[in-house]
Amino acid sequence: MITALYIVMLGPPGAGKGTQAKKLAQELGLVHVSTGDLFRENLVNETELGKLAQTFMNKGELVPDDVTVRMVEERLSRPDCEKGAVLDGFPRTPAQAKALDDLLQSMGSAVKVVPYVKVPDDILVERLSGRWMSQSGRVYHEKYNPPIVKWIDDIDGSQLYQRDDDKPETVCHRIVVYNDQTAPLIAYFREKGILVEIDGTQSIDDVFEDIKVAVEEAS
């Protein structure tokens, strides 16, 4: 019997996976597990994993599967993931998808639903080039989701920053890497009957409503 709820947010860089995953995790009382955030935390803490990840992230390349899978296995084994998790940015390759299936199966569970947030490339570039981040991971957009005071986090008043990998040339390469290595997962999850296409060009609130419906219908 599957009791824990695992949701995988799928979509290209800048589609809004992180924005929606945070809202969904809060709504459902689940943990938000973002591999990008985990790598960035390791980077800030100057761990060996962080140093390794940085060499790939700065180029817009994927961190090797074995390293990424080990990190996710460790994260999902913690007690706060007992009820499940909203996975954001993982899996990102067929090998990672297989590893996740095997891991959840060994826990007597499975991915329940995969909201696939679809956004065309030109909008992705605009979203990423206008994205402002807080040190604690809150995500803003200069135009679509601005903070109350420019460049200042609404919650803790700290200075916002732009991610190194949001430079236009790196963004374009990340989209190429996505199409090459991650897009095959659309067919993988569709074949399992758990993929739900979401129109990611709508407002943040409308996208969220569609995702909630997808999750409710799958549960």
Residue 115 near ligand AP5 by CB under 6 A:
no
Residue 173 is inside which H or E element, if any?
helix 168-177
Tell me if residue 190 is catalytic.
no
Q: Among 40, 92, 127, 138, which one carries the catalytic annotation? A: 92
From candidates 24, 97, 134, 140, binder to ligand AP5 by CB under 6 A: 140
Nearest to 86 by CA among 27, 147, 156: 27
**Shortest distance in whole angstroms from residue 32 CB to ligand AP5:** 11
Q: CA-CA distance, 54 to 44, in Å (whole number)?
A: 10
Note whether 7 and 24 are within 8 A (CB). Answer: yes
Sign of CA dihedral 120, 212, 77, 188: negative
From candidates 6, 7, 10, 19, binder to ligand AP5 by CB under 6 A: 19
Site for ligand AP5 in 167-206 (CB under 6 A): 174, 202-204
In DSSP terms, 139 is beta-bridged to: 133
Tell me if residue 78 is catalytic.
no
**Shortest distance in whole angstroms from residue 3 CB to ligand AP5:** 25
Nearest to 68 by CA among 32, 44, 105, 93: 93
From candidates 23, 75, 127, 138, binder to ligand AP5 by CB under 6 A: 127
Torsion of CA 11, 59, 128, 118, to 10 degrees: -20
Q: CA-CA distance, 52 to 23, in Å (whole number)?
A: 30
Tell me if residue 59 is catalytic.
no
Residue 18 near ligand AP5 by CB under 6 A:
yes
Residue 75 near ligand AP5 by CB under 6 A:
no
Residue matched to tokens 């689940």? 30
Residue 68 near ligand AP5 by CB under 6 A:
yes
Q: Among 112, 118, 163, 190, which one carries the catalytic annotation? A: 163
Nearest to 31 by CA among 5, 2, 12, 55: 5
Q: Which tokens go with 215?
A: 């999750």
Residue 131 near ligand AP5 by CB under 6 A:
yes
- With a CB cutoff of 8 Å and minimum separation 6, the contacts of 40 are 50, 137
Residue 32 near ligand AP5 by CB under 6 A:
no
Tell me if residue 143 is catalytic.
no
Site for ligand AP5 in 152-171 (CB under 6 A): 165
* Residues carrying an active site annotation: 17, 92, 131, 163, 174
Chain positions contacting ligand AP5, by CB under 6 A: 11, 13-19, 35-36, 39, 56-57, 60-63, 68, 89-90, 92, 96, 127-128, 131, 139-141, 144-145, 165, 174, 202-204, 207
